[in-house]
Structure 1
Amino acid sequence: MTARLNLDPCPSPHWQWEGHIQTIAAMKWGRRPQQPFVRQRLDTPDGDFLDIDWAGPQAYTHAAFNGQALVIFHGLEGSSQSHYAQAIGAHFVERGWMVAVAHFRGCSGEPNRLARSYFSGDSQDIDFILNQMRRQLPQAQWHATGISLGGNALLKYTGEQGQQLDWLAAVAGISVPVDLVATGMRLQTSLMGRYVYTPHFLASMRGKMQQKASAFPHDANWNKALQARTLLEFDDAYTGPVHGYRSAFDYWSRCSSQYHLHAIRVPTLLLIARNDPFIPQAGLPAPNQGSKHLLLHYPCSGGHAGFASGSGRGELTWLPQRLERFFTQHQ
Structure 2
Amino acid sequence: MCCDITPTLSGSVLNEKKPQLVAGGDAFCRFLREHCPAVTETYYPTLWCWEGRLQTLLRPFITVKPLVHYNNELIKTADGGQISLDWFNNDGNTLYPDASARPTILLLPGLTGTSRESYILHMIKYSEGLGYRCVVFNNRGVSGEDLLTPRTYCAANTEDLETVIQHVHNRYPEAPLMAAGVSMGGMLLLNHLGKTGRQTPLRGAAVFSAGWEVFESAVVLEKPINWILFNYYLTTCLQASIQRHRAILEKQFDIDNVMKAKSIREFDTRFTSVMFGYPSNDHYYRDASPCHRVKSIEIPTLCLNAVDDVFSPGHVIPVESAKQNPNVALVLTSYGGHIGFLEGLWPRQQTYMDRIFKQFVEAVFEHGDEIYSM
- TM-score of the aligned structures, taking structure 1 as reference length: 0.92
**CA deviation after TM superposition for structure 1 residue 9, in Å:** 4.2
Residues of 1 paired with 2:262 and 2:110: CA distance? 20
1:281 and 1:79 map into 2 onto residues whose CA distance is 26
C-alpha offsets along residues 237-289 of structure 1, whole Å, 9 cap, x if unaligned? 00001111122221111121111110111000011011112111111111434
Report the number of matched residues: 327
Aligned partner of residue 22 in structure 1, secondary structure: helix
Structure 2 segments unaligned to the other structure (5+ residues): 2-22, 30-38, 366-374
Equivalent residue, structure 1, for 2:204: 170
Correspondence for 1:82 among 102, 110, 117? 117
Paired position in structure 1 for 2:331: 297
Paired position in structure 2 for 1:120: 155
Shift of 1:63: 8.7
Q: Does structure 1 residue 238 correspond to structure 2 residue 271?
A: yes
Partner of 1:25 in structure 2? 58
Distance of aligned partners of 1:7 and 1:220 in 2 relative to their CA distance in 1, 3 Å threshold: farther
Instruction: Compute the displacement of 1:313 (Å).
Output: 4.6
Q: Secondary structure at the match of 1:298?
A: strand
Out of 203, 228, 234, the residue aligned to residue 201 of structure 1 is 234
For 2:342, the equivalent position in structure 1 comes to 308
Is contact 1:152-1:178 (8 Å) kept? yes
Residue in 2 aligned with 1:187?
Answer: 221
Separation of aligned partners in 2, 1:271 and 1:258 = 14
SS in 1 for 2:43: coil
SS in 2 for 1:296: strand
Q: After TM superposition, list the pairs within 5 Å mapping 1:46-65 onto structure 2.
A: 46-58=79-91, 64-65=99-100
Residue aligned with 1:81, SS? coil
Structure 1: segments with no counterpart, 5+ residues: none
What aligned pairs does 1:91-110 form with structure 2 within 5 A after superposition? 91-110=126-145
Contact 1:64 1:139 in 2 (8 A): no
1:291-330 Cα offsets, whole Å, 9 max, x none, are 1100110011211011222222543343222122222332
Query: 2:293 matched to 1:260?
Result: yes
Q: Which has the larger radius of gyration?
A: 2
46 and 252 in structure 1: CA distance in 2 versus 1, 3 angstrom threshold: same
SS in 1 for 2:262: coil
Computed over aligned residues only, the root mean square deviation of the Cα atoms, in angstroms, reads 2.1
Task: Classify 1:214/1:57 alpha carbon distance in 2 versus 1 (closer, same or farther; 3 Å).
Answer: closer
Question: Is the Cα contact below 8 Å between 1:26 and 1:316 reproduced in 2?
Answer: no
Q: CA deviation at 1:206?
A: 1.5
Letter in 2 for 1:209: I
1:156-211 per-position Cα deviation (integer Å, ceiling 9, x unaligned): 1101111212x3221011100011111122112x2232112122212222222224
Indicate yes or no: 2:51 matched with 1:37. Answer: no
Matches of residues 264-303 of structure 1 in structure 2 within 5 Å? Answer: 264-289=297-322, 290-303=324-337
